[in-house]
């Protein structure tokens, strides 16, 4: 590791010095290899006798970009073709097999390469054809080509009359053996093709491991004893791995995998996605602080150890890769893991807003504790993180600070690969995604220099206001003491003042780019994301103030105008491909339901308050104690907000269990004789309701899914004109990705049309 870092540092120092020499001057005094000069090709690209697909592609791309930079066609020749006085740019290790030893002195990764330039010619040689392709990408980047985003709109190509390369011997090895930004495709072939090309230019690829599931099929009806049960004795979909038969079948299945793929480094084994772990004798006495449940890591580490004990008898170097995720993210406290176990860290339940070095956020710091804990046990890790705000349909969000603080740390901690889940939202995520890809290749890069290069080259005359725009957005999240997933906290972060600052910087950038269609198109990508944020925030505010007509207009505007423009944008989507379905999932049910309850003769009879009296019930004894009764004292109940503040913001982020809400309502006498319903705009996870001690029946056939309102028939229980006590019990037992709980939306009593009187 020490050698690797010193090697990179020395190489960078040399390249900085060389880069300081103007190319035209360097060409004149012999310190460079001239490719094009005075409209003439001084060099030729030479392919080996039997070129691979990647080597051919590398040659073709270099010729294409040389022509775009200089206007001159540099020929691509076969190995034995005459050069006609041109200096050769040889593509492939086969021209100098001995160069492999020089590359391997710093590492064996097949993506590694050598780029040697002398006045007599150049050699691009990778330990694999892919490595040679990456050498071509390095060469083009040295000439000033940048691939900031997929497609032409994100590609920067300088214009030069003289095309020259500095004399050098550059050897590069990827900082991470695996480099993946996943789920960045789109709805069309053009999106996917441009994304694939961008991945190649950013040197993505390499090692990958980890998955959900054990890789065996078990019929729960025929063999229920092989499954876990929950606290209520109900069967879950998690296998009981302490059962000998499960162990036997998993070993058998993985042995077959290794028989087919004897060189495989890791087999993937893990729980099914989701919860349902129950309790097992193999569990240690260790609680997961995020979930409030026992950490099940020891259970699985013991299982992996037993699997490897058998598999390594025939394949001594094989390991087990598993997602360190949910209730099995913490390192084990009792079991010593086999050193060939690879935890693939996936901190899905941890706050997304902040970086690991932000003191505001204990959860991001907790990631460091987890990494150091696994490291102390002698195992390597892989990172399977997230570069988006989960369950967010695409509000303005940037992760520059997170990438710059965390990815170099993961490299220093010895992680071998990064496979990061993203969303196609190039309007606002482009700087973060570009930065992540660059740091995955070289975690020692100067981030400030990368960002300066990004904004200067991509936005030209508008670089300063666009940098201020993203700096202001990053500052808003970094300074915000909010941590809830989804979008519940974003109105507290993207305040009117912040949105006004963002609008001002965008307008300044648009002014500076006036007359330059390409710069204007790049700025428009961010503008679409900003406008989507404005409409989203307006929609959310309207919902919370019961103005469902305005909320519906904003929702329809996003679905019909902004989202199609963002998703149909080629070559890269401006906002999430799933922005429409996410918006529909989390908002359409509440908006449409609310709108229906104030139209066609329906009326809102009572708008329930944001603040209620509140009592925790961790032992679920509230019903037995009569918390729903109207006459009980509530002096020891505390005020709590519903829609305006999440549980997280009121000291309840890590509470899992039952809780009670209580408020006083009076339905006006004018609604006497009409059908009346209690409508709760958002619940996480389950609810029951009482009015003056009478339990209200749920109007729907069952518990509504997340993002749908709950409704109870209150007709028989309401006494119009009289003050009554409304009580709602909410059960919130499982940590989901939202970090919320309880009542999460506005609530009301609504009355049906007068002709529906009962």
* Closest CA relative to residue 438, chosen from 426, 421, 427, 450: 450
Please check the confidence at residue 584 and state whether its pLDDT lies above 60: yes
Please check the confidence at residue 641 and state whether its pLDDT lies above 70: yes
- Sequence-ordered list of residues with C-beta below 8 angstroms from that of 633, at least 6 positions apart, any chain: none
pLDDT of res. 216: 96
Cβ pair 385, 440 in contact under 8 A: no
Q: Rounded to an integer, what distance in angstroms lies between the CA atom of residue 347 and that of residue 36?
A: 50
**Confidence band of 31 (pLDDT split at 50, 70, 90):** low
More confident residue, 147 or 289: 147
Radius of gyration of the chain (CA): 30
Instruction: Extract the tokens encoding 116.
Output: 């040697």
What pLDDT digit, counting tens, does each position of 210-245 carry?
999 999 999 999 999 999 998 888 999 999 999 999
pLDDT of res. 24: 32
Strands 319-325 and 266-268, by their bridges, are parallel
Please give the average per-residue pLDDT across 117-145, as a whole number. 98
pLDDT of res. 734: 78
Q: Rounded to an integer, what distance in angstroms lies between the CA atom of residue 253 and that of residue 755?
A: 65
The alpha helices in 143-241, defined as continuous H runs, are 189-201
pLDDT of res. 6: 34
Please check the confidence at residue 66 and state whether its pLDDT lies above 70: yes
Give percent of the chain above pLDDT 70: 95
pLDDT of res. 11: 38
Q: How many CB atoms lie within 10 A of CB 617?
A: 17
- Sequence-ordered list of residues with C-beta below 8 angstroms from that of 321, at least 6 positions apart, any chain: 209, 210, 211, 266, 267, 268, 269, 342, 344, 382
| Architecture of the domain made up of 603-756 | Sandwich (2.60)
Please check the confidence at residue 656 and state whether its pLDDT lies above 90: no
- Sequence-ordered list of residues with C-beta below 8 angstroms from that of 137, at least 6 positions apart, any chain: 200, 201, 203
pTM for this one? 0.93
Q: Rounded to an integer, what distance in angstroms lies between the CA atom of residue 562 and that of residue 571?
A: 17
pLDDT of res. 338: 98
Please check the confidence at residue 720 and state whether its pLDDT lies above 70: yes
What pLDDT digit, counting tens, does each position of 393-420 carry?
889 999 999 999 999 999 999 999 999 9
More confident residue, 270 or 758: 270
User: 2-173 sits in which CATH class?
Assistant: alpha beta
Please check the confidence at residue 17 and state whether its pLDDT lies above 50: no
Do domains 2-173 and 603-756 share one topology? The answer is no
Q: Compute the mean pLDDT over every residue in the chain, rounded to the nearest whole number.
A: 92
What pLDDT digit, counting tens, does each position of 667-715 carry?
999 999 999 999 999 998 899 999 999 999 999 777 787 778 999 999 9
pLDDT of res. 26: 36
- Sequence-ordered list of residues with C-beta below 8 angstroms from that of 132, at least 6 positions apart, any chain: 54, 55, 58, 91, 92, 93, 113, 124, 125, 126
Structural domain boundaries of the chain? Answer: 2-173, 211-226+252-337, 476-596, 603-756
Strands 341-346 and 382-383, by their bridges, are parallel
pLDDT of res. 73: 97
pLDDT of res. 22: 33
The residues with which 558 forms a beta bridge, in sequence order, are none
Cα dist. 191→194, 198, 202, 573 in Å?
A: 5, 11, 16, 8
Please check the confidence at residue 12 and state whether its pLDDT lies above 60: no
More confident residue, 673 or 18: 673
Top mean-pLDDT range of 187-191, 350-354, 469-473:
469-473
The residues with which 421 forms a beta bridge, in sequence order, are 182, 386
pLDDT of res. 733: 83
**Confidence band of 732 (pLDDT split at 50, 70, 90):** confident
Give percent of the chain above pLDDT 90: 83
Q: Rounded to an integer, what distance in angstroms lies between the CA atom of residue 255 and that of residue 310?
A: 9
Q: Rounded to an integer, what distance in angstroms lies between the CA atom of residue 143 and that of residue 32?
A: 12
């Amino acid at each position: 590791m020490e050698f690797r870092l010193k090697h990179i540092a020395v190489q960078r120092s040399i390249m900085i010095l060389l880069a300081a020499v103007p190319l035209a001057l360097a060409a004149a005094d012999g310190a460079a290899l001239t490719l094009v000069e005075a409209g003439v090709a001084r060099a030729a690209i030479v392919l080996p006798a039997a070129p691979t697909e990647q080597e051919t592609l590398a040659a073709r791309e270099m010729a294409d970009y040389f022509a775009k930079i200089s206007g001159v066609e540099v020929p691509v020749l076969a190995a034995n073709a005459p050069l006609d006085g041109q200096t050769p740019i040889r593509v492939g290790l086969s021209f100098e097999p001995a160069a492999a030893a020089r590359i391997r002195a710093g590492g064996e990764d097949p993506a590694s390469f050598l780029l040697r330039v002398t006045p007599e010619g150049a050699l691009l040689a990778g330990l694999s054809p892919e490595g040679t392709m990456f050498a071509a990408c390095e060469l083009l980047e040295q000439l000033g080509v940048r691939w900031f985003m997929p497609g032409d709109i994100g590609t920067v190509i300088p214009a030069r009359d003289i095309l020259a390369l500095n004399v050098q011997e550059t050897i590069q090895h990827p900082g991470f053996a695996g480099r993946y930004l996943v789920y960045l495709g789109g709805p069309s072939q053009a999106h996917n093709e441009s994304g694939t090309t961008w991945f190649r230019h950013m040197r993505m690829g390499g090692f990958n491991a980890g998955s959900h599931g054990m890789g065996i099929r078990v019929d729960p009806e025929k063999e229920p004893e092989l499954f876990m049960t929950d606290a209520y004795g109900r069967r879950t979909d998690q296998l009981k791995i302490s059962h000998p038969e499960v162990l036997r079948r998993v070993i058998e299945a993985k042995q077959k995998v290794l028989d087919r793929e004897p060189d495989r480094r890791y087999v993937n084994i893990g729980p099914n996605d989701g919860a349902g772990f129950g309790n097992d004798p193999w569990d240690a006495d260790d609680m997961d602080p995020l979930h409030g449940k026992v950490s099940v890591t020891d259970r699985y580490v013991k299982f992996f150890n037993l699997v490897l004990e058998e598999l390594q008898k025939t394949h001594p170097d094989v390991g087990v890769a598993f997602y360190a995720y949910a209730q099995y993210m913490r390192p084990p406290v009792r079991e010593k893991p086999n050193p060939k176990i690879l935890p693939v860290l996936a901190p899905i339940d941890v706050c997304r807003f902040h970086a690991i070095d932000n003191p505001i956020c204990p959860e991001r710091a907790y990631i460091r504790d987890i990494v150091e804990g696994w490291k102390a046990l002698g195992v390597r890790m892989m990172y399977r993180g997230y570069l988006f705000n989960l369950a967010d349909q695409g509000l303005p969000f940037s992760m520059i600070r997170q990438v710059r603080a965390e990815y170099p740390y993961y490299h220093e901690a010895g992680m071998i690969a990064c496979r990061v889940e993203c969303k196609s939202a190039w309007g606002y995520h482009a700087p973060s995604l570009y930065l992540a890809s660059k740091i995955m290749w070289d975690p020692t890069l100067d981030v400030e220099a990368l960002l300066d290069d990004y904004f200067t080259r991509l936005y030209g005359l508008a670089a300063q206001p666009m940098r201020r725009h993203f700096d202001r957005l990053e500052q808003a999240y970094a300074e915000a003491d909010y941590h809830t997933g989804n979008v519940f906290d974003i109105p507290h972060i993207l305040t009117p003042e912040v949105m006004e600052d963002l609008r001002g910087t965008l307008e300044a950038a648009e002014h500076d780019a006036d007359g330059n269609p390409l710069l204007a198109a790049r700025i428009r990508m961010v503008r679409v994301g900003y406008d989507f944020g404005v409409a989203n925030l307006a929609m959310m505010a309207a919902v919370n103030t019961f103005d469902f007509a305005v909320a519906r207009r904003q929702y329809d505007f996003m679905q019909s105008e902004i989202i199609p423009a963002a998703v149909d944008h080629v070559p890269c989507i401006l906002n999430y491909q799933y922005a429409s379905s996410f918006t529909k999932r989390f908002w359409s049910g509440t908006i449409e339901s609310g709108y229906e309850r104030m139209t066609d003769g329906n009326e809102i009879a009572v708008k329930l308050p944001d603040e209620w009296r509140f009592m925790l019930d961790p032992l679920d004894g509230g019903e037995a104690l009569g918390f729903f009764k109207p006459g009980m004292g509530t002096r020891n109940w505390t005020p709590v907000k519903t829609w305006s503040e999440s549980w997280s913001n009121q000291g309840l982020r890590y509470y899992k269990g039952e809780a009670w809400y209580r408020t006083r309502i009076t339905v006006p006498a004018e609604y006497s004789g009409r059908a009346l319903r209690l409508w709760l705009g958002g619940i996480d996870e389950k609810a029951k309701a009482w009015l003056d001690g009478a339990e209200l029946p749920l109007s729907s056939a069952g518990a509504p899914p997340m993002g749908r309102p709950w409704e109870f028939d209150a007709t028989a229980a309401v006494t119009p004109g009289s003050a009554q006590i409304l009580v709602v019990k909410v059960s919130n037992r499982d940590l989901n990705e939202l970090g919320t709980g309880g009542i999460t939306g506005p609530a009301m009593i609504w009355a049906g049309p007068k002709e529906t009187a009962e």
